[in-house]
Amino acid sequence: MLKLFDSELRIMKLLWERGDLRAKEMADILKEEIGWNPNTTYTVIKKCIGKGVVERIEPKFLCRALVSRKEVQKAETEEFINKVYDGSAGLLFAALLQRGELSEREIKQLKKAIEEIEE
């Protein structure tokens, strides 16, 4: 199962939002945005490469995401449902509805998703 830590997700979000980036560019962006030391960025990039979610392309240490945001969201959602709701998506869905904080747009999206499953 694909498991990414928050720091690794930060790297992935940069790549998903901006496309391929050099490691130095990522270090500069993350230093500016969240105060990361460049060595921290390089260490987290290497962990992402080790997990097979980022590819290193030479020259100049260009980084490319190898998994999509949707793939990661699916894996993270499945893990959350298994851990917190004993594998029951229905219980998660019920908990979301009980919060009573869904916008009309979100309700329409959920209805559409249900309709697509039923087809």
The full DSSP string for 7-28 is HHHHHHHHHHHH-SEEHHHHHH
Specify whether 11 is located in the same domain as 60: yes
Specify whether 93 is located in the same domain as 110: yes
Q: Per-residue pLDDT averaged across 61-77, rounded?
A: 95
On whether residue 1 sits in a domain, the answer given is: no
Domain count, the chain: 2
Specify whether 25 is located in the same domain as 59: yes
The pTM of the full predicted model, rounded to 2 decimals, is 0.80
Structural domain including 81 reads 69-118
Specify whether 37 is located in the same domain as 60: yes
Helix, strand or coil for residue 94? helix
- Give the model's pLDDT for residue 100: 78
The two structure tokens encoding residue 116? 């697509």
Q: Which helix (H) or strand (E) segment is 84 a member of?
A: helix 69-84
Specify whether 26 is located in the same domain as 57: yes
The average confidence (pLDDT) of the chain is 93
How confident is the model over 6-52, as pLDDT tens digits? 999 999 999 999 999 999 999 999 999 999 999 999 999 999 999 99
